[in-house]
Amino acid sequence: MTETTTTPITTAEYHARVAATQRTLHERALDGALCLDFHDVVYLTGFFHSPNERPVGCFVPAEGDVTLYVPLLEREHAADTGIARIEAYEEFPGRVHPVVWMAQDAGVERLGIDGMDLRVAAALDAAGARFSPFDGVERLRWRKSAHELDLIRAAARFADRCLEHVLAQAGSIAAAGGSELDILAAALAGTEADMRDALGTTFEGTPTRVVGTVHTGPQAALPHGRPGPRRPRTGDVLIAGIGVAVGGYHAESGATFVFGRADDDQRRCLRAAEACDRAAREACRPGVLGEDVNEAGLRVLRDAGLGDHIRHRVGHGMGLQGHESPWLAPGGTVPIAAGMVFSNEPGIYRPGLDGYRTINTMIVHEADVEVPSRFQATHAIEQRVL
């Protein structure tokens, strides 16, 4: 499999993100922001660390250079980011809580912090630290750069490739007595080999991987069920949901297949999911609220008499996280804007019988919506036969 020359995010882009954060700080009359959220830290620094109980922080002053705060055991890894000022604390929990130490080292009066649990907030309060909530970096992450979009497109291509492996192998695996787990393992292994062949070591040190689920028959009625030892039978549906990250950026593709020829009822459900996907895509335009996109899509399922079998929203944002804001869901009040990326995943779940879900990645532009997930576009319902 040949891949285009997709590359990791550059140092220049990280610097531009810091500069954009500093403009937000000025707009909000803050002297600096301490970012503790894993993905906000990665967004600003490229430090793809292993999150655990030891906090990592990134301080962005309204003027000047970034400071990256890490536990001592991560100091050498942090140096690979190119951040000039790296400060390390000895260990967690420490006599002084590491986040209190970070806030004290930042030394600014008007400090914004992006996220913390109540215990950290209590420790800051006890130390007399003054701070206010800061969502500026999360909001910057909503609209992706051209480089980020290239990484997401690459991830979508590999997610599609995993579905190709399901289509090519699931039938023969099931015929030989194989299970859901066997089908998933074969598809993931094939895609991992494709990614190694196409990407080599280009994205070493950043999350670059494929994950997925496969559910068949009555198990397909469980939106978050676990693949298991069940052996599919002729007439069963198979839901495959695939997520891929390339250089830390996520995309999803998913489809519902049938072992053997689909009957009239199965075709009705498959067509309803396809129509829901189309309606949500057509509604996903700049200025429209996320909850209105959700309603436009799910209304199609209700009109098809499938409203009792809806179990979740139509979609969610994607980027450094597989699931991130903004949301295509009730309460999704963020207006859609060009550069945003969403999943579009209609689901129909009939307990004790079966389930149907399709997943496309959507990239919003000013005039249209790009769908880098191409499996459904190139494989009509009648071709999703195992």
Given the DSSP bridges, would you call strands 341-344 and 360-364 parallel, antiparallel or unpaired? Answer: antiparallel
For 116-137, the pLDDT digits (tens) are 899 999 999 999 999 999 999 9
| Per-residue pLDDT at 3 | 53
User: Residue 296 in 3-state DSSP?
Assistant: helix
Query: What is the torsional sign of CA 20, 23, 29, 34?
Result: positive
Residue 157 lies in a domain: yes
Q: Is residue 154 part of a domain?
A: yes
Residues 238, 372 within the same domain = yes
- Containing domain of residue 370, as a range? 143-383
Q: Is the pLDDT of residue 5 over 70?
A: no
pLDDT in tens, 142-159: 999 999 999 999 999 999
Side-by-side strand order, sheet with 209-216: 209-216, 237-246, 249-258
Instruction: Report residue 150 as tokens.
Output: 């290239």
Asked if 181 and 48 sit in the same domain, the reply is no
Q: Quick one: 88 and 26 in the same domain?
A: yes
Distances (CA, A) of 338 to 29, 138, 287, 370: 27, 16, 9, 11
**Residue 344: predicted pLDDT:** 98
Tokens 């689901």, residue located: 347
Structural domain includes residue 90: yes
Considering the domain architecture, whether residues 158 and 15 belong to the same structural domain is answered as no
Compute, in degrees rounded to 10, the torsion defined by CA atoms 323, 329, 333, 335. Answer: 70
Q: What is the pTM of this model?
A: 0.97
242 touches 252 (CB < 8 A): yes
Choose one of 141, 171, 191: the last residue of a domain: 141
pLDDT at position 147 is 97
The answer to whether residues 302 and 356 belong to one domain is: yes
Is residue 257 a contact partner of residue 386, using CB atoms and an 8 Å limit?
Answer: yes
My answer on whether 185 and 321 are in the same domain is yes
4 lies in some domain? no
Do 118 and 187 share a domain, yes or no?
A: no
Examine the domain organization and report whether 288 and 378 are in the same domain. yes
What is the pLDDT at residue 283? Answer: 98
308: left (phi over 0), alpha (psi -120 to 50) or beta: alpha
Q: What is the CATH number of the domain that holds 53?
A: 3.40.350.10
**Average pLDDT value for the chain:** 97
pLDDT (tens digit, 9 = 90+) per residue, 325-371? 999 999 999 999 999 999 999 999 999 999 999 999 999 999 999 99
286-304 pLDDT tens trace: 999 999 999 999 999 999 9
Last residue of a domain, one of 118, 141, 164: 141
Between CA 385 and CA 170 the distance in angstroms is 10
317 with 181, same domain? yes
Q: Could you tell me if 217 and 362 lie in one domain?
A: yes
Residue 326 confidence (pLDDT):
98
The total number of structural domains in the chain stands at 2
Q: Enter the DSSP assignment of 385.
A: B
pLDDT attached to residue 141:
98
Domain boundary among 123, 141, 159: 141
- Assess contact for 282 and 41: CB atoms under 8 A: no
Q: Is the pLDDT of residue 319 over 80?
A: yes
Q: Is residue 2 part of a domain?
A: no
Q: Are residues 117 and 197 in the same domain?
A: no
Statement to judge: residues 27 and 64 lie in one domain: yes
For residue 1, being part of any structural domain is answered with no
The torsion angles phi and psi of 85, rounded to 5 degrees, stand at: -110, 110
Contact 311, 26 (CB under 8 A): no
Q: Residue 30 pLDDT > 70, yes or no?
A: yes
The CATH number of whichever domain residue 371 belongs to comes to 3.90.230.10
Residue 337's φ and ψ, nearest 5 degrees, are -140, 155
Given CA atoms 131, 135, 140, 144 in this order, what sign does their dihedral have?
A: positive
Give mean pLDDT, residues 211-236: 96
Q: Is residue 5 part of a domain?
A: no
